[in-house]
Structure 1
């Protein structure tokens, strides 16, 4: 697993890089020499240097925007050894370090939007993230009872899925990775088609096309966190994985038609635990089905059901599983073992 570089070390490297690029010839040579020695100290220094260099190169793309943040007229220092150009170079280097080192500039979103669907409701969102700037690119299909937020930054595209299930058809852009963040961890892609599901219990990921990398979160993560709960997993077309309470189940093969089958009016289950299947069914019901015990939750469900018939799902479950459904006075249905 790749180590996350320390921001303090990145700031040091940025300062040296900026000075070596902008300052006077003598000061630039001295900075380059210090930078070479600094990089050689530890592997952590070299990792921080590579990240700082990446940010510095990205700055070249947006340099006209950045100039407005820098003072155009810097007063001369009292010391005769400091030329005006050196002061300007060091001033720009300091400003670049402050903006890039702390991540302020890169954390300013270029676009933000939130989406939510109700019970039995499907929706579609188009994201303006085409690499050529031509307009709409990534498409997100939202299943019922789904909440998510989209943020586009200069260096990445981020979706925070707080509840529900969505299908992502991602526009390729190698310079801006696409990430989906959930309680169960982060999914990172460049261009692919996949679903992510989080309805409060297990978090599932299924890939229809392409290649994604899943970085699982630890057991007690309440929301996306930089902490990792285990090694990253690479998934490709027609495979899926489930994260449950900090544990990642083995990657499994899936029927390609099962990915986001709700788009076509189907609820598709392939040997899924009932505590994972019930929330998906309930998203299309007017009153929820609940399990009376952990033993009910542990039952496995296989089959396809029309989402339009979700209100009669209790009768179907009674027919294929050792269950009986009891309707409460408030209309909720409890599933018990027979």
Structure 2
């Protein structure tokens, strides 16, 4: 966790505690002292306090909106049970960026929210139904939620879904031309252009083509399976739980490689940094490596390659050029 994110988290906790009945004058003194320690503390606290006022105004829209999840429900659902989720959503909105709006469809209130993470950033969205979405680097998605539907559109990037089970109320993720439908499970979806990867950690999901595109039958992806879809074709790699877990290491800020080529490893690092690794030697590109690395520390990764394989490394503007020594 970065220093700024840590400060935001502490500020959010102060806001949550201040709303509890047990808040005392001693607590207020402690809060004042924490605020005086740094202007960064004051800025974080005041930003969140402003977001809190927005949350209260959204809450005034009425109890009908308490059902939808994501930022909508997190901001407006009241008092202890959801105050922490509200703060978490506001923190995410401040750090990652989001937009929120409501509209009426017959007698059903629909809440729509959009979320974006920058390159190298991550975010977590707590959902009112008990589900949770985690966003990886450079990801953009939006949701549409009402009493009768739970839908997410992954426009780009990667997200992990921990979906709470609801009988007869599926959770649907749209990624390009692929539609992923579940009732309750844990899985990730990554979208790179027209390539969509689905990895299932628990339960199972169904992958269909988008509406209007014919397909012989849906693909069922179970625990430990990874599905790669492009156009009308879907390839399922079964019994690859280790690969699924390695692929989810980004949730802890890590990248795990198992006999991956340096070219592919460099491409993964490039997703998390504005400084891109460029492999100019095809022999170097095909070298296979393994290990666990901090996604944010491209310099450490390059130094290891330099030391272990005697590679030539030079820096040019926003690129790191690697070739044979």
Q: Give the TM-score category using the shorter length.
A: 0.5 to 0.7
In the alignment, structure 1 segments of 5+ residues that lack a partner are 1-103, 131-136, 218-223
Unaligned runs of 5+ in 2: 1-103
Q: Deviation above 4 Å: which 4+ runs of structure 1?
A: 104-109, 270-279, 290-302, 315-326, 334-338
Q: Distance in 1 between matches of 2:113 and 2:207?
A: 24
Alignment match, 2:121: 121
Name the counterpart of 1:188. 181
Flag the structure with larger Rg.
1
8 Å CA contact retained: 1:126, 1:140? yes
Determine the C-alpha separation between the residues in 1 that align with 2:204 and 2:134.
19
Of 184, 189, 204 in structure 1, the residue corresponding to residue 197 of structure 2 is 204
Kindly state the Cα deviation for residue 229 of structure 1 after the two structures are TM-superposed: 5.9
Change (3 A) 1:233 1:334: farther
Shift of 1:258: 2.0
1:111 paired with 2:111, answer yes
Partners in 2 of 1:192 and 1:317 — Cα distance? Answer: 38
Asked if the contact 1:154/1:176 (under 8 Å) is kept, the reply is: no
Query: Which among 288, 296, 303 is matched to residue 308 of structure 1?
Result: 296
**Matched residue, 2:223:** 237
SS in 1 for 2:151: strand
Partner of 1:331: 318
Comparing 276-285 and 294-303, the one that deviates more: 294-303
Matched, 1:287 2:275: yes
Match of 1:159 among 132, 149, 152: 152
Give the deviation of 1:298 after TM superposition.
Answer: 7.8
Partner Cα distance (2:143, 2:196) in 1? 19
Per the alignment, do residues 164 and 117 of structure 1 end up closer, same or farther by CA in structure 2, a change over 3 Å counting? same
Kept in 1: contact 2:176–2:194 (CA 8 A):
no
C-alpha change, 1:159 and 1:336, in structure 2 (3 Å) is farther
1:145 alignment counterpart: 138
Give 1:114 shift. 0.9
**Alignment partner of 1:173: what SS?**
coil
Task: State TM-score, norm by structure 2.
Answer: 0.55
Residue 213 of structure 2 corresponds to: 227
Rounded to whole Å, the distance in 1 between the matches of 2:194 and 2:264 is 7
Task: Please name the residue that 1:101 is paired with.
Answer: none
Distance 1:335 1:186, change over 3 A: farther
Structure 1 121/108 Cα, relative in aligned 2: closer, same or farther at 3 Å?
same
Q: Is the 8 A contact 2:170 2:183 kept in 1?
A: yes
RMSD value, Cα: 3.7
Structure 1 partner of 2:171: 178
Contact 1:326-1:334 at 8 Å conserved across structures: yes
Pair 268,243 (structure 1): closer, same or farther in 2 beyond 3 Å: farther
Aligned residues: 220
Match of 1:79 in 2: none
